[in-house]
Amino acid sequence: MAKAGGNTTTTWTRYSQAKALAGEYLGDSKFVERELQRGLAAGEIPWRCVRFEAPEQYSGPGCGDQEFWKLGAVRSGRLILNMRGIRTEGDSATRMIDGGAAYGIDLDRAALVRLKLLPADNGAETTSPLQRQAGKSLIEAEVRRRAAAGEHWDSITELSESLREWMETVSDRPLKARSIENCLREKDLWSLLSKK
């Protein structure tokens, strides 16, 4: 989205990817979740979504409106968030009290950098070591999820390709199949899904 009077554009990052990258960067996923919800409720993190279902008694303009995230009471001029009031899963969020949901949530990456939830990119187009590490963390989490679901594969190459396709849906910087295969061997993740 271009800003009026300037050439700057907003770089959007999927909610789940932002959460994974920030968790890897800061080393505390619970803190990251709280800070994301706090930043969204305070209007510090611009957002957009693919589809928006308005909650009951809601008069906001819809997708991207910060009011969606505000469920807490205001005390002494400070917003107190009801952290159990919003459930996030993947790239979706649901208001638990009065309904409503946002699907396919993207967050403004520059805002996450400004809030020190992500490191500055410094204009680099290449994947940073942090992003590669976070990419490997995403792969590890997905392999463990698949193993818990009882999935097994005959070929590490086919598994790597499947994981690459999955990663393209959840990450704006997916790893190549060969890098995923190396990660599976390096972290001994292949043994979790191998039929042998």
> What confidence score (pLDDT) does residue 11 get?
87
Q: Is 193 exposed, middle or buried (0-12, 13-18, 19+ CB in 10 A)?
A: buried
Q: Where are the domains of the chain?
A: 12-114, 129-193
| Pair type for strands 73-75 and 47-48 | unpaired
Tens digits of residue pLDDT in 55-68: 777 666 667 777 77
> What confidence score (pLDDT) does residue 141 get?
84
Tens digits of residue pLDDT in 5-54: 444 588 888 999 899 888 888 777 888 888 898 888 888 999 988 888 87
Global pTM value: 0.54
Q: Which residues contact 132 (CB under 8 A, 6 or more apart)?
A: 175, 179
Tens digits of residue pLDDT in 34-44: 889 888 888 89
Residue 194 vs residue 96, higher pLDDT = 194
What CA dihedral angle connects 54, 59, 60 and 61, to 10 degrees? 80
* DSSP states of 111-173: HHHHTTSS---TT--SPPHHHHHHHHHHHHHHHHHHHHTT--BS-HHHHHHHHHHHHHHH-SS
User: 73 forms bridges with which residues in the sheet?
Assistant: 80
Could you tell me if residue 62 is left (phi over 0), alpha (psi between -120 and 50 degrees) or otherwise beta? left
**67 secondary structure, DSSP code:** G
Give mean pLDDT, residues 148-165: 90
> What confidence score (pLDDT) does residue 81 get?
42
